[in-house]
Amino acid sequence: MNYSSHRLNDESELRPYIKKMGWPNFKTYMERLYNKIIDMKPGDKFRIDDLVVEKNRDLFIKLLCLFTVMHGTAVFYFNNEFTLFYRNDEKEKL
């Protein structure tokens, strides 16, 4: 299993989802996901398949990628196959 093909390469890849879902629904989905990520404690991780159904996998992974870009890849990151998502267990530097 390898989900690296779902990684976000450009923010424009989110436009079809915004168009299909409408901005309010897209924003709600994104905020729910981001709140879950923000609540992660250092050292926490989760399997992508444990949190999302197949039909939503692409958007889910793309939004996680966007989050890591916005918050730093040293804090939040994927494994090489994009099947696991982690929060770094080291103390964050201010």
Q: What is the pLDDT of residue 94?
A: 44
Query: Model's pTM, two decimal places?
Result: 0.88
Three-state DSSP class for 92? coil
Q: What is the mean pLDDT of residues 24-30?
A: 97
Q: What is the mean pLDDT of residues 85-94?
A: 71
Q: Is the pLDDT of residue 93 over 60?
A: no
Query: pLDDT tens, 48-67?
Result: 999 999 999 999 999 999 99
Q: What is the mean pLDDT of residues 11-40?
A: 96
Nearest of 34, 24, 25 to residue 62 by alpha carbon:
34
Contacts 24+ apart (CB under 8 A), 85-89: 85/37, 85/45, 85/46, 85/48, 86/44, 86/45, 87/37, 87/40, 87/41, 87/42, 87/43, 87/44, 87/45, 88/42, 88/43, 89/42, 89/43
